[in-house]
Amino acid sequence: MGSHEHASLMGAVKGQPRQVWITAFAAVIAFMGIGLVDPILLSIAEGLHATPSQVTLLFASYLGVQVVAMLLTGASSARFGAKRTVLIGLTLIVLATAACAMANSIGLLIGLRGVWGLGNAFFIATALSVIVGAATGGQQGAILLYEAALGVGLSVGPLLGALLGSFSWRGPFLGTAVLMAVALVLCAAFLTPDSRASRPPIALLGPLRALRHGGLLRTAVGSALYTAAFFTVLAWTPFVLGFTAVQIGLVFFGWGLCVAVAGVALAPRLAGWLGERRATVVAVLGYAVLMALLAVPSKPLVVAVVIVSGLVSGLLNTLFTGTAMSISPAPRPVASAGYNFCRWLGGALSAILVGHIAGWLGSPHAPFLVAAVCCLVAAALLTRGHWAARSDSHTVPAEAVLVGEQL
Q: Taking all residues of the chain, what is their mean pLDDT, rounded to a whole number?
A: 81
The ranges of the chain with pLDDT < 50 are 1-10, 386-407
Reported CATH class of domain 3-194+203-399: mainly alpha
pLDDT of residue 194: 66
Number of other CB atoms surrounding residue 275 within 10 Å:
12
pLDDT of residue 196: 56
Q: DSSP alpha helices (H): ranges in 262-388?
A: 267-274, 276-294, 299-327, 332-361, 366-382
pLDDT of residue 384: 77
pLDDT of residue 128: 66
> Alpha carbon of 79 to those of 19, 34, 85, 88, 251: distances in Å?
21, 28, 9, 13, 42
pLDDT of residue 129: 66
pLDDT of residue 199: 55
pLDDT of residue 113: 93
Cβ–Cβ under 8 Å, residues 289 and 229: no
pTM: 0.80
Of 173, 69, 75, 71, which Cα lies nearest the Cα of 114?
69
pLDDT of residue 174: 92
Q: Burial level of 290, CB count in 10 A (0-12/13-18/19+)?
A: buried
> What residue ranges do the domains of the chain occupy?
3-194+203-399
pLDDT in tens, 348-366: 899 889 988 998 998 899 9
Number of other CB atoms surrounding residue 277 within 10 Å:
18
